[in-house]
Amino acid sequence: MNPGPPHHDIVIIGAGFGGLGMGMQLKRRGRDDFVILEQDTGVGGTWHANRYPGAACDIPSLLYSFSFAPSTRWTRNYPGQAEIEAYLNECVDRFDLLPHLHLRTRVCSLEWKADTQRWTIRALQRGVEMAWTARVVVNATGGLSRPAVPDIAGLADFKGTVMHTARWQAEVPLADRRIGVVGTGASAIQLVPQLVDKAARVSLFQRTPAWILPKRDRPVSPAMRTLYENVPGLRRLARALVYAVHEMRAPGFTRRPGILEMLEPLALRHLKRRVADPSLREALTPRYRMGCKRILIASDFYPAIQRRNARLVTSPIARVVADGVLTDDGMHHPLDVLVLATGFQAAEAMSPFPVRGRGGLELNEVWRQGAKAYLGTTVPGFPNLFMIVGPNTGLGHNSMVFMIESQLRYVMDALDRMQRAQLAAVDTKPEVADAFNAQLQARMKHTVWAKGGCTSWYQTRSGLITTLWPGSTLAYRWRTRRFRLDEHEALRA
C-alpha cells in the first residue's frame, strides 16, 4: 500500500527570521513535529540572499534580534549582513533546528484537502518533486524575497555582467571595472561607498533622490559586550531604550506626517555639510515628504558620490546597449557591470506559488485587487494557514523582528487554543477580516505613505498600500496578544 507523503503537524516555509523564529518557538514549547522548507542553500532569508558589499541593517543589533534568543556578540551598533546571518545560524544550533531543515527545497504549491483537514505541500528538492502533508502551514516566505527586475529596454543586449543586489555574484571582479548602479534606495546607498574604493568608475542612475540621515554606527567595545553578557538586565534595558526611541517616530509615519517634516532640516543639513557643489546638492534633494519612502541612514554615501571616479546620472535611462547605458540626454555610459539595486516585488505581494484553499479558492485570485489578511496573518477560506510578515505588517520606523515576534506569539496562541478546544482546523470569519481591513485602509489615508507625495514599493500599481502597518508596533502587539477562537469558524472533518 502506498503510505502517501510524509506527514507533519506543522510545515514552515522559509528559513529567515520568520520561519526560524517559528521553529524556535515550537521547540521552546516542546512541539517537535515540524519541518522547515527553504529554497535557498542556507538559512537567514534576507541575510543569506543580500550579500552585496556593504549590506547592513539600519536598526541597531540590540533590537534586530529575537528577545527570547539574545546575542551578546554583536561587534557593531548596526550589524552587517554576515553578522546577522551568523546570528541566525547560531539560533539554528541553539534550538537544534538542523534536523527539521530541508534546504534547497522550493515549495511550488499548497492545497487544502477538506476530507482529511490537511494541507498538501508540493516542492522541488534539488530538482526532485517532493510532497508533504500537514495540519498547519506557516508561510514565512518574506515580504522582500523576490527581486524586482526593472523593465528597461535592451537589458538582455548587455554583454557585460548584470546582477541584482539580492543575487550578488561575488566572483565577478569589480577592481578597475566600470560599474553602473540602477536605483537610489537602501541597497544602492550601502553599495556605492564600497564600489568607489575598487572600481574604475561608478555611475549611479538616479530616478528619485532619497532622504538620508547620518548613520551613528560604531563598534561595540569588548568591555560593553562583557557587560551585556554578565548583566542581562542592562542589555534588556538598552534594548528597551532603543525600542522606545524608534517607536516614538511612529506617529510621524502613521498619523501626523508633520512630525517627520521636523526631521527634514536635519537631513538637509547633513546634505549641505557633506556636499559642497550646489548643483549636485540640488540633484540629491528629495522632492517628497520625508518618510513617504523608506528613510535611509548613511554617513558615507554623500562623500562616495563625490569621489573622482563616481558620477550621479539624473537623466532617465533610455535603454541598455551591448556596452553600456544610453540616457535620455543622448549620453552613452560605457559599462562592464550593471547592478540592479532595484529592490523587491513587495506590494504586488502575490503568493510566490499557487495556494488552493476551501472549495478550490485560489489565494492569488482572492488577492487580485491587493493582498490583505486578518492581522496580516490569516485569510478566510484558507484554514490553518498562518503567514509571518503577511500583508500590512511591514514597518517604516522600527525593527521587523518585533513584528515577527508578535506574529509568532499569535500563532503559538492559536495552536494552544485549538489544542485545548480540541479543534483540528479553524478558518477566519470573512466578516472579521473585512471589518479589520476596512478599518486598516481607513487609517492608511492619514499616513505619510499615502499623503507624502511619492510613489513607492509600499503601494500596488493602483495605489493601495498592502505592505505597511499603519500604527504603532505596540498596538500590533496588543491586537495579536490573543488568538480569539470566536473570530474563526471551527471546521470538523
Ligand X SMILES: Cc1cc2nc3c(=O)[nH]c(=O)nc-3n(C[C@H](O)[C@H](O)[C@H](O)COP(=O)(O)OP(=O)(O)OC[C@H]3O[C@@H](n4cnc5c(N)ncnc54)[C@H](O)[C@@H]3O)c2cc1C
Contacts to ligand X by CB under 6 A: 13-19, 37-40, 45-46, 50, 57-59, 64, 106-107, 140-142, 144-145, 186-187, 352-353, 388-389, 399-400
List Cβ neighbours of 87 (8 Å cut-off, separation of 6 or more): 65, 71, 73, 79
Please state the closest distance from residue 433 (CB atom) to ligand X, in A.
21
Toward ligand X, which CB reaches closer, 79 or 257? 79
Taking alpha carbons only, the member of 181, 36, 38 closest to residue 104 is 38
Toward ligand X, which CB reaches closer, 164 or 274? 164
d(CA 414, CA 393): 18
Please state the closest distance from residue 24 (CB atom) to ligand X, in A.
12
d(CA 304, CA 316): 21
Taking alpha carbons only, the member of 32, 1, 168 closest to residue 95 is 32
Please state the closest distance from residue 242 (CB atom) to ligand X, in A.
12
Toward ligand X, which CB reaches closer, 22 or 335? 22
Please state the closest distance from residue 132 (CB atom) to ligand X, in A.
12
Listing DSSP states for 100-144 in one string gives: GEE-SEEEEEEEEETTTTEEEEEEEETTEEEEEEEEEEEE---TT
Toward ligand X, which CB reaches closer, 25 or 50? 50
Listing DSSP states for 36-75 in one string gives: EE-SSSSS-THHHH--STT-B-SS-TTTSS-TTS--S---
Toward ligand X, which CB reaches closer, 178 or 397? 397
Toward ligand X, which CB reaches closer, 35 or 260? 35
Burial of 325 from C-beta contacts in 10 A (0-12 / 13-18 / 19+): buried
Please state the closest distance from residue 343 (CB atom) to ligand X, in A.
8
Please state the closest distance from residue 398 (CB atom) to ligand X, in A.
7
List Cβ neighbours of 367 (8 Å cut-off, separation of 6 or more): 349, 350, 351
Toward ligand X, which CB reaches closer, 327 or 393? 393
Please state the closest distance from residue 173 (CB atom) to ligand X, in A.
23
Is the Cα dihedral 39, 41, 44, 45 positive or negative?
negative
